[in-house]
Amino acid sequence: MLGVARRRLGSGCVLGQLAQALRPAAAARSYSAAAKEITVREALNSALDEEMSADPSVFLMGEEVGEYQGAYKISKGLLDKYGPDRVLDTPITEAGFTGIGVGAAYHGLRPIVEFMTFNFSMQAIDHIINSAAKSNYMSAGQISVPIVFRGPNGAAAGVGAQHSQCYAAWYAHVPGLKVLAPYSAEDARGLLKAAIRDPDPVVFLENELLYGESFPVSDEVLDSSFCLPIGKAKIERQGKDVTITAFSKMVGYALQAADILAKEGISAEVINLRSIRPLDRAAINASVRKTNRLVTVEEGFPQHGIGAEICMAVVEDSFEYLDAPVERIAGADVPMPYAANLERMAVPQVEDIVRAAKRACYRAVPMAATA
């Protein structure tokens, strides 16, 4: 692959110099190819493998993606299979290797840039927004930027304020970017394939705490041709009393809340957004027009968040269908605490969703009455 890059970019390019410094590592490929249940980690690994196999212009770059096989072992076995020309270990300089990736995309390659955490993407945000997101528009469509920026996003556990932010709202604010946030193994596999094949820059927000979770998958999902459409949400659970929207790890919390609510006679419909930008307004509004109530759930800060955007989408398109005020569940409006007990209070919990759904259904005392 880098032979192509050198011909297009010049033999003295930084990308070529990086590749020459690499050494291959012996690693066994390890993911489930036939089982009916796979982890999110295996789903991402298999998607990367299949897309790199299908398209020689696809390559992966980032810190420790090669010889260490990824900080979270998402790229396990890829260096051994594809070599250092297509799995590039980079220095600890996000601004540098992200700029190299965008430049490679300008020249027709399909880079996948991995951030060890999306908190570190702030070092490279100029390239993501000014170099990648705006180039197609500013070139009048002459320059496509088929690049994926991926890595863990949001809170993990005990890593403090500088490593716990959710960047969904940050990047969803920018025209020219597509922003995806998978929950399940099916989401991870199908959306990553879609992101790699897309002609535009895609921000792919994973969750560290979901990597080891297993999900059942069908034979269709395991097929190499499987791909999910960008911009389409998924109804994870049908319901008729209240709509709950969520993405990434919060989908699991919403489903747990729906189970609890069902025992109390409240039928909750859970929407897995999957795509943050573009947002599936049609699916959200169709659900609200059926249930007449809405609870939005997100890990990020409340102000200017994804929940606020969803609320406005419903107010604009379905206000007359609402039978109760919209309830918004989000992270606390403070930097993430380090102490475990405070950290739990700063992140939405299942019981928060349950209480909000009950308020929307007039089955609990409103918060204003207890203030």
The pair of three-digit structure tokens given for residue 326, joined into one six-digit string = 């919209």
Cα–Cα distance measured from residue 230 to residue 312, given in angstroms and rounded to the nearest whole number: 21
Do 294 and 321 contact (CB within 8 A), yes or no?
Answer: no
Q: Where does the chain show beta strands of DSSP type E?
A: 37-39, 58-62, 87-89, 110-114, 148-152, 178-180, 202-206, 214-216, 234-237, 242-246, 268-272, 275-277, 294-297, 327-329
For residue 272, what are the β-bridge partners? 234, 246
C-alpha to C-alpha distance for 257 and 267, rounded to whole angstroms: 11
Residues marked active site are found at: 94, 163
Looking at the DSSP bridge assignments, the partners of residue 296 are 245, 328
Burial of 327 (0-12, 13-18, 19+ CB in 10 A): buried
Residue 263, judged by CB atoms within 10 A of its CB (0-12, 13-18, 19+), counts as exposed
Indicate the angle between helix axes 249-263 and 350-360, nearest 10 degrees.
50
Separation of alpha carbons 343 and 161, rounded Å? 10
